[in-house]
Amino acid sequence: MSILSLIIIAIIALLVIIVIARNIKIVPQAHAFVIERLGAYYQTWGTGLHLKVPFIDRISKKVSLKEQVVDFPPQPVITRDNVTMQIDTVVYFEITDPKLYTYGVERPLSAIENLTATTLRNIIGDLELDSTLTSRDTINDKIRIILDEATDAWGIRVIRVELKNILPPREIQDAMEKQMKAERERRARILDAEGEKRSQILVAEGLKESAILKADAVKESKIREAEGEAQAILTVQKANADALRMLSEANPSEKVIELKSLEALAKVADGKSTKLIIPSDMSKVASLATSVKEMVTDVKE
């Protein structure tokens, strides 16, 4: 074999190796390749090593199976009360069928954007301005359900939709700011009035409790004073009773009793009474007084 033939064989072998090497494909994780054979869909390659038939097979589309996020520019929408506002949306989706994604619709992202805009206009058109501003979650759910149903034929699953910004006209924003300011001022006045009311109530309750405590103190003082007087009376009565008991136990003579009567009469005479009652047996008292005087005279002598 000549040298020229060897060179030709080497060149052919090198070309075959290059062709085979160029047709060995590795599909990375979370990706898929859509393969066409002779212009028709053949199969979808998953993650791993694959060999493509040269000049017959071709990779039609490389598809990412990861969750994707698309931020669409603001869209003008009109509410039911004829207020025009700008709303931009964010759509989260993933590709579930690479074949449908490749052949289902031309420019899938543009199709999702247009579908999102028309769906948003339809939903906002049934709502008033206040409902639009306070019903974001409801609007998000409605748009997601409609988009998910429509994109099933495209091999796309819409995971969630978020209204990123809602921008009403400048004059509407100014009116809303004034309304919010007035509402905050009203709440501040209400809080001030409630605080003043609470303060007055606390002061009144304090005065009431002070008056009650003062009355209780006066009452307690009078009760203690009355108890003291009662105790004093009981003590005096007990002393008199003890004196009478002791006198009764001593068995005094008639003259001693008459003498005690005379002492009692003297105490009555020394008092501030305006009337004086003389006993009927005054002669006995006089006789007793004479006897006392004689006894005193004998003692002196």
Q: Is the pLDDT of residue 293 over 50?
A: no
Average pLDDT over residues 116-133: 87
Tokens of 94: 């993933």
Q: What is the pLDDT of residue 263?
A: 60
Distant-in-sequence, close-in-space partners of 296: CB < 8 Å, separation ≥ 6: none
Distant-in-sequence, close-in-space partners of 72: CB < 8 Å, separation ≥ 6: 88, 89, 90, 91, 113, 116, 117
* C-alpha span between 223 and 173 (Å, rounded): 74
139 neighbors 77 (Cβ within 8 angstroms): no
For residue 295, give the DSSP letter: H
Q: How confident is the model over 88-118, as pLDDT tens digits?
A: 899 999 999 999 999 988 888 899 999 999 9
Q: Is the pLDDT of residue 218 over 80?
A: yes
Domains and CATH numbers, the chain: 3-63 (no CATH), 68-168 (3.30.479.30), 253-301 (no CATH)
Q: Is the pLDDT of residue 212 over 50?
A: yes
Q: How confident is the model over 167-206, as pLDDT tens digits?
A: 887 777 777 778 778 888 888 888 888 888 888 888 888 8
**Burial, 109: exposed, middle or buried (Cβ in 10 Å; 0-12, 13-18, 19+)?**
middle
